[in-house]
Amino acid sequence: MNDFTRHNEEARQVWDAYWSGKPIRVPVGNFTIGPRVWLLNPVLNRTGITMEHFSTNPELMFNVQLEYKYYLHHHVVHDIEMGIPRDGWEVFVEFNNVHEAAWLGCEIFYPENQVPTTCPRYIGDRKYDVFSNGMPDPFSGVYGRVKEYYEYFQARAAKTEFHGRPVRVALPWPGFSTDGPLTVALDLCGEDILGDMLVEPEYYHKLMDFLVEAILRKARAWRAYLGIEARPKTGWFADDAIQLISTENYRELVLPYHRRLLDGLFGGGPYGMHLCGNVQRHLPTIVKELKVNHFDTGFPIDFSTLRNEIGEDVHINGGVHIGILLKGTPCDVRNEVCRILQSGVTRGGKFIMKEANNMPPNVPEENVLAMYEATREFGKYTS
């Protein structure tokens, strides 16, 4: 793509129309994507910077963020401002999905050619050790590093230009976000927590109470530190681990904690929710019970039934399976885009095409372009 000016004007019109409730075509965007697409692509990362180097060195993290953003704005075609951003570049402190588990005592590991991960610590005879030190300080452990890196980024950005544009720093979302209480419980305790839900409910509820309160204390402290609103009206949350349980168990054993979490984090909604995995059976309950009106989905999703199940007032981010984007041809991608757009999911005008879910490294640029161009062609709304 060479005509960034034309692209950017079209993208602006598409998003303006979408959010005004008068869409002209399905937007392509809200990608779940991050620096790993640069770090784990040897064609881009020619010096071999590892995920561990990136995660443990704020200078490297800052520099890689800028290289990743340049790549994103020039090679990953979707409805964002392509080219050199007019108002400058935005970088962010990136600790992937390990920050909560690490904060609560799990060790971070750095598998080769992969993102960081943690291993469960509170299993077997050690399951009650999670409570032994009480609530962790919101700026302790990994969150001390997040704060250190954020302050480094701010100081560095104040004196940095990149390709002639200023650099700004996004708020450090690890401090006031959460991957969800059941997901964090799974990170801490492994699959045993799924059994404890049913056979040792006293422990399960004690842990979930502990985690929800810890998440809320962390969010409040970080919002105060950042000088932002203590309870914004709306926001996003997640809890991918609910894919592992039935809707009956979700209603009885997890939904009450989601209510408490949202009541403590926000001021009434509506809310957005990210959910990877096989979660479609839960979405009608979540819409009804939690005032969620925007889902960021992964796979598997049956787009032919989803709109009927959750109604036309709910926004859906979803799209092409990452396996097709990574291994398929542009023709395969085009066919999948057509299948999704013809499924009925666009009815009501609240569908955003994206990857499903989390863009992996080494996706051919021509496959992303095929998703964009097919959506432009087949995702138009007619009055």
pLDDT in tens, 97-116: 899 999 999 999 999 999 99
Q: Is 192 among the domain residues?
A: yes
Whether pLDDT at 340 is above 80? yes
Domain extent, residue 151, equals: 84-230
Q: Is residue 181 part of a domain?
A: yes
Residue 201 domain-assigned (yes or no): yes
pTM given for the model = 0.96
Across the range 350-379, mean pLDDT stands at 97
Q: Looking at the predicted structure, is the pLDDT value of residue 316 above 90? A: yes
Give a yes or no: residue 197 inside a domain: yes
Predicted confidence (pLDDT) per residue in 81-97, tens digit? 999 999 999 999 999 88
Q: Are 214 and 175 in contact (CB under 8 A)?
A: no
- Burial category of 364 from C-beta neighbours within 10 Å (exposed 0-12, middle 13-18, buried 19 and up): middle
Residue 383 has pLDDT above 80, yes or no: no
Residue with tokens 């995660």: 55
Hey, CA dihedral for 291, 297, 302, 304, is it positive or negative? positive
Residues of the chain above pLDDT 70, percent: 99
Total tally of structural domains belonging to the chain: 1
351-356 and 315-321 strand pairing: parallel
CATH number for the domain that contains residue 171: 3.20.20.210
Q: pLDDT at position 233, please?
A: 96
Q: Assess if residue 99 is contained within a domain.
A: yes
**Is position 260 within any domain?**
no
Given a cut of 70, whether residue 1 has pLDDT beyond it is no
| Tens of pLDDT, residues 133-187 | 899 999 999 999 999 999 999 999 999 999 999 999 999 998 888 999 999 999 9
Tell whether 364 is covered by a domain: no
Q: How far is CA 240 from CA 214, 273, 315, 371, in A?
A: 19, 10, 18, 25
Task: Specify if 293 maps to a domain.
Answer: no
Tell me: the pLDDT tens digits for 60-69?
A: 999 999 999 9
Please tell me the distance from the alpha carbon of residue 356 to that of residue 349, in angstroms, as a whole number: 19
Return d(Cα 29, Cα 79) in angstroms, integer.
Answer: 5
Please tell me the predicted confidence (pLDDT) of residue 3: 87
**Rounded mean pLDDT of 276-286?**
97
Residue 15 has pLDDT above 70, yes or no: yes
